[in-house]
Amino acid sequence: MTDPTRLDPMVSRREFVAGVSALGAVWLMACSREQAAVAESASMPSMPAESSAPPQTLVHFSSEQGVEIEAMASRIIPSDDGPGAREAGALYFIDRTLTSLAKDQVPLFAQGLEALSTAVVKRHGAGQRFSTLTAEQQDAALKTIEQTPFFGAMRFATIAGFLALPKYGGNKDYIGWKYIGQEHTFEQKPPFGWYDLPANQQALLGRVL
Amino acid sequence: MRRQEQPTGKTFATNAEVDFVVIGSGIAGGSVARELTAKGFDVLVLEQGRHVPPSDMEHDEIGAFISNRWTNTPEQSPQMYRKTADAKAEQRHFLQYARVVGGTTLHFTGNFWRFRPIDFNEFSQRGAVPGTAVADWPITYEELEPYYTAVEYAMGISGETPTDPREPMRSKPFPLPPLNVTGPGVLLEVGAKKLGWNSKAAPMAILSREYKGRQPCHNCGFCLAFPCEWGAKSGSNWTMIPDALRSGRCEVRSESYVHRIETDDTGRVTGVLYFDKDKKEQRQKAKAVVLSANGAETPRLLLMSTSNRFPDGLANSSGLVGKHLMFNGNVVADGLFEHAVHGHKGPVVTRITQEHYIPDPSLNFFGGGGIDMRFDVPAMIKTLSMPTDGPEWGAAWKARAREWFTHSASAYGHTTTLPVATNSVTLDPELKDAWGMPAIRTTYKEHEHDMRLFKFFQDRCKELLSAAGAKKVYASPFGDAPGSAVHLLGTARMGNDPKASVADKYHRAHDVKNLFIVDGSSFVTSGRGQPTMTIQALAFRAADHIAQFATRLEI
């Protein structure tokens, strides 16, 4: 695959659903030992319980890099009509996966950040960083790298950091789940949506419930 | 909250000769163990993977879809893939199966369709298909029917008595009523009604009511690709294995990877060699072995078990071990709807249509299938795999993602694929796994009939979504060898002719009197989409016959 981070999403999901981790295979070509470690550390109780405290420190990025990564993530999933990547702590997810599941992407992120920083200085002048630009300027800067593997990896990791289980470092207090409509619960009571409301089932199918 | 407790079993010494070693703890191995122990035999189940306790059953999308938490991994069990025998093989994680106690039923969807009579004798009804080894099964629907029923009652299958006169005879009603219909289920019914198609409550291996001390489904929504922390999804780990252990005659030895079935000079199986959890080699003696390791690992183990007497692999005088690899076709179309579907709550599938179970022969393809409507995966994967016809990031993406998550549903077509001799599982001549054993090399390419069938079913999926009122319909690409494959079938087919099959109609290897092969590899043809129910019914039937042979000292 020429570009491991820009997947055909429909193909990917079909593959997952077929039971699969095709996406994993390309996203995180990583090392079995780390994966085993993740699996091992997963023996925490699965029923609703207080999750471990969300991370507040970086283990891979420097604090300067962290500021830039968070600024990028905040444009990918902005905090507009509800919490975004910043509130979900997607930065900490990205930071942690680069030391484990996505270890092989360390050079991609390092080079991507470097190239972005150079481009920002060239366009906006010395002393400017991506994080110091206005939102409009940031979006314009991201537009220019939209098709790069680095942006693809950033986008993927930001979404995953918004929605993966909090134990991976992001989705703080299930904030991403709450926004999208995914509940953190082991029990749901019907009716679930509009179509299975008894009155609508009756109207649509002519059956009395 | 009441939770299921896992019973403990007994422990056998490795130097003791047990009655049966069963290799694999999935739906086939678990069922054989349950049935043989119930008839008074001692059974040792050897399972490659680990035991998954309820405390380990998290709603973890990274684990389920990315880091192979439940499945075979490319790091420990690398594989090679090539499309045709003359192509250069490449390393690719192609065949997927769970590697845990309970096998793939630990995290399956729970679709539990019976086959119909035509699935056993389509060759006689339709004739040969060039380039394939289509054949009748050595058994009929009527022979298997009592075992289908036994399985439904052992598992607590939810469903409704069919109203479609095209459906075959059932000797008893379902033990449990259907699952509560969800949004996607209602949409399936709406679409089918509009099109004049029959639809019905899906037969599901998920409890709709408490059954045999197990809790019913609590609609958590993390179902396909996730283990069930409630024990409501009737995987082997929650049903067959605990029943076998409770008998007091069974041990399930997990993290025990059998790499060789041993035979003596007379050609009888004497036991197995396996790697324990520390990768230390152990030998277990047995009077007989039942091989239920799945459609990939079963042929691999036979091919690895060569000897002077069996130079081409154990039970392989026909040369067919590993050949005729089949999957089930899986075509998908997605629809975006006006109102909230909220399909992420509740079971994945609650209603299906089998209107096109036997399509018109003039369409010129073998087989058929069925369609369900579902919401397939949770939030992370769902939004990462959205249609690409809109903004891919930023505020507009965010709004689009939320709409896609709450307002979409997918129609899934499940179909036949054909047995082609060149589609196969063999041992790679070079690549080894983490234990130093030969890696799987798969050769696989769809037959032209398969591609026509997939197209037909995807068109029906699109039609169903539109009829259900979808504002937009998206079709996913299909065919040309899936990115990876599940439902691993046909690689040690059963049959009456020792030259044209690996095992007989009682699952006994033609070449080895005390070796039985019972799993998806036993299939002669692939059926129409959902194999698990039939694998399990075969296992119940096999165990019944194996017990009779053992009682009559005919093993």
Residue at B449: amino acid letter = H
Gyration radius from chain A CA atoms: 20
**Would you say residue A21 has pLDDT above 60?**
no
* pLDDT > 80? residue A109: yes
Q: Is the pLDDT of residue A33 over 80?
A: no
Pick the closest to residue B58 from A101, A202, A30, A46 (CA basis). A46
- pLDDT, position A208: 72
User: Given a cut of 80, is residue A36 above it in pLDDT?
Assistant: no
B contacts of A81 (beta carbons < 8 Å): 395, 398-399
Would you call B130 helix, strand, or coil by DSSP? coil
Return all residues near B527 (Cβ < 8 A) that are at least 6 apart: B115, B119, B328, B416, B534
What does the pLDDT read at residue B19?
98
Q: How confident is the model at residue A25 (pLDDT cuts 50, 70, 90)?
A: very low
- pLDDT for the residue numbered B326: 98
Mean pLDDT along residues B98-123: 98
- B residues 362-391 near A, CB within 8 Å? 376-388
H-assigned helices in B278-341: 297-304
* Cβ separation A14–B483 shorter than 8 A: yes
pLDDT at B412: 97
Q: Which residue in A21, A31, A139, A147 has the most chain B C-beta atoms within 10 A of its own C-beta, making it the best mutation to test that interface?
A: A21
Q: For residue B60, what is the nearest residue in chain A, using CA coordinates?
A: A165
Phi and psi, residue B395, nearest 5°: -60, -40
Count each helix (H run) and each strand (E run) in chain B, helices first: 11, 17
Q: Is B17 on the interface with A (CB under 8 A)?
A: no
Distance from CA of A29 to the nearest CA of B (A): 9
Closest to B27 (Cα-Cα) out of B175, B243, B177: B243
Q: What is the predicted pLDDT for the residue at A18?
A: 39
Q: Between chains, do B55 and A22 touch, taking CB under 8 Å as contact? A: no
Neighbour-count burial of B526, counting CB atoms closer than 10 A to its CB (0-12 exposed, 13-18 middle, 19+ buried): buried
DSSP state of B121: H
- Mean of all residue pLDDT scores within chain B: 96
Identify which of A27, A38, A188 has the shortest CB distance to residue B345.
A188
DSSP secondary structure letters along B373-386? EE--S-HHHHHHT-
Q: Name the maximum alpha-carbon separation found in chain A.
A: 71
For chain B, the first-to-last Cα distance in angstroms comes to 47
Q: Answer whether residue A46 shows pLDDT above 90.
A: no
Chain B closest CA to A2's CA: distance in Å?
15
Which of A33-37, A127-131, B213-217 has the weakest average pLDDT? Answer: A33-37
Is the distance from CB of B292 to CB of B28 less than 8 angstroms?
A: yes
Contact A161, A85 (CB under 8 A): yes
Q: What is the C-alpha separation between B119 and B142, in angstroms, rounded?
A: 12
Interface test with B, best of A28, A171, A178, A196 (most B CBs within 10 A): A196
pLDDT value for B479: 78
> Which segment of A42-51, B114-123, B223-232, B367-376 scores lowest on mean pLDDT?
A42-51
Between B119 and A184, name the one with better pLDDT: B119
Which residue in the set B61, B186, B230 is minimally distant from A165, CB to CB? B61
> Do residues B538 and B118 lie in contact, with contact meaning Cβ atoms separated by under 8 Å?
no
Comparing CB atoms, the residue among B66, B68, B341 nearest residue A195 is: B341
Q: What is the pLDDT of residues B239-281, one digit of tens each?
A: 999 999 999 999 999 999 999 999 999 999 999 999 999 999 9
Q: How close does chain B come to A25, measured CA to CA in Å?
A: 7
Is B508:B516 a contact under the CB 8 Å cutoff?
A: yes
Q: Do B68 and A156 touch (CB under 8 A)?
A: no
How do B257-263 and B250-253 pair as beta strands?
unpaired
Contact B393 A194 (CB under 8 A): no
What angle, rounded to 10 degrees, do the helices at B27-38 and B532-551 form? 30
Is a pLDDT exceeding 80 seen at residue A79? yes
Assign B47 a pLDDT band (cuts: 50, 70, 90): very high
DSSP A173-199: GGHHHHHHT----S---S--SSTTSHH
Average pLDDT over residues B421-430: 98
Higher pLDDT, A4 or B231: B231
Tokens of B78: 């690398």
- pLDDT on residue B3: 52
Q: Are A193 and A181 in contact (CB under 8 A)?
A: no
Split at pLDDT 50, 70, 90, the class of B477 is confident
Q: Tell me: the pLDDT tens digits for A55-77?
A: 989 999 999 999 999 999 999 99
Taking residues B302-331, what's their average pLDDT?
97
> The tokens of B413 are what?
């077509």
What Rg do the C-alpha atoms of chain B give, in angstroms? 22
| pLDDT tens for each residue of B296-309 | 999 999 999 999 99
Q: Between chains, do A19 and B104 touch, taking CB under 8 Å as contact?
A: yes
* Contacts A–B by Cβ distance under 8 A: 263
CA–CA min distance A107, chain B (Å): 21
CA distance A121 to chain B (A): 23
Tens digits of per-residue pLDDT, B486-517?
A: 999 999 999 999 999 999 999 999 999 999 99
Inter-chain CB proximity A18 and B53 less than 8 Å: no
CA–CA gap between residue B528 and residue B116 (Å, rounded):
9
B193 touching chain A per CB within 8 A: yes
Q: Closest residue of A to B97, CA-based?
A: A19
- Check A14 against B476: CB less than 8 A apart: yes
Report cis status (omega within 30 of 0) of the bond before A191: yes
Q: Which of B66, B182, B334 is the closest to A23 by Cβ?
A: B66
pLDDT tens across B340-398, in order?
A: 999 999 999 999 999 999 999 999 999 999 999 999 999 999 999 999 999 999 999 99
Of B55, B186, B229, the CB nearest to A195: B186
Q: Is the pLDDT of residue A8 over 80?
A: no
| Higher-scoring residue by pLDDT: A54, B117 | B117
Q: How confident is the model at residue B4 (pLDDT cuts 50, 70, 90)?
A: low
The closest CB to that of A16, out of B73, B377, B395, belongs to: B377
Cβ pair A160, B380 in contact under 8 A:
yes
